């Protein structure tokens, strides 16, 4: 049951007829994992905390650098040299002290990834390399939890929700090559700050929809955005019968 203070704090979302008190209570009871507290993970984690997701686990093995501050909005100048996960946790606590935040200040290996995914209700992939993305996809399949994935570069971004336990495709259905090369990096190609903010906020939106039952999550589709021209496309993504990661579920 929500307290008077919580009813006031979350009033604007409780006012939504399809969300209401029941949706807020579901958020309060939920646990989300955010992997990567950079350009995508920062806004995603901040919005999840502000919205009242009861428990967050933040995983990132990197430290804050000066070049991060242009877009990684959970960190400030005084955080340079600190753990990104710890810095983001402090920023969330400043916004909403009632959210329980756990910090994993290291890169997740297969074992720790499986353990983290098994303890949460949804996973947000805000990482920057294929190895982590493929491993996280497999860990989410094992745990039976949905994966909200986003990527951004230059003025472009994409977003998808992978929920093979509900009959949808997984990340590897979309990107079948497990030995794909490195992701194109912002350090090489650049990125405008609001681009990662938009995609990270959309990740939070999809996670909130999944946790609360509000709206229709982006399962079985890929949202592709060119923010330089404001062109948006929604593409259908089908589960692959020969997918080595999730075909056994069908």
206-249 pLDDT tens trace: 999 999 999 999 999 999 999 999 999 999 999 999 999 999 88
pLDDT at 158 over 60: yes
Look at residue 167 in the predicted model and tell me its pLDDT. 87
For 54, the token pair is: 């009861």
Helix (H, G, I), strand (E, B) or coil at 25: helix
Q: What domains lie within the chain, and their CATH numbers?
A: 4-173+187-249 (3.40.50.720)
The CA distance from 73 to 226, in Å, is 21
For 98, the token pair is: 């009632």
38-51 pLDDT tens trace: 999 999 999 999 99
63-81 average pLDDT score: 98
pLDDT at 68 over 60: yes
For 142, the token pair is: 């094992």
Question: What's the gap between Cα 104 and its chain centre?
Answer: 15
Look at residue 207 in the predicted model and tell me its pLDDT. 98
């Amino acid at each position: 049951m929500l307290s008077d203070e919580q009813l006031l704090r979350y009033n604007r979302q409780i006012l939504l007829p399809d969300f209401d008190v029941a949706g807020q209570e579901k958020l309060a009871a939920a646990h989300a994992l955010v992997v990567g507290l950079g350009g995508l993970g920062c806004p995603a984690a901040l919005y999840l905390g502000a919205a009242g997701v009861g428990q967050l686990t933040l995983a990132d093995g990197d430290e804050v650098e000066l070049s991060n501050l242009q877009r990684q909005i959970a960190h400030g100048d005084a955080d340079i040299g600190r753990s990104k996960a710890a810095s983001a946790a402090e920023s969330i606590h400043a916004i909403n002290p009632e959210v329980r935040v756990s910090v994993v200040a290291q890169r997740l290996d297969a074992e720790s990834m499986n353990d983290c995914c098994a303890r949460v209700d949804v996973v947000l992939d805000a990482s920057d390399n294929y190895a982590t993305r493929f491993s996280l996809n497999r860990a989410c399949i094992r745990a039976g939890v949905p994966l909200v994935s986003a990527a951004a570069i230059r003025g472009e971004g994409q977003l998808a929700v992978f929920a093979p336990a509900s009959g949808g495709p997984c990340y590897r259905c979309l990107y079948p090559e497990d030995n794909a090369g490195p992701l194109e990096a912002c350090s090489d190609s650049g990125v405008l700050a609001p681009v990662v903010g938009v995609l990270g906020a959309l990740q939070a939106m999809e996670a909130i929809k999944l946790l609360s039952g509000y709206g229709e999550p982006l399962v079985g589709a890929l949202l592709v955005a060119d923010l330089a021209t404001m062109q948006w496309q929604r593409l259908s993504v089908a589960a692959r019968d020969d997918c080595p990661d999730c075909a056994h579920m069908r």
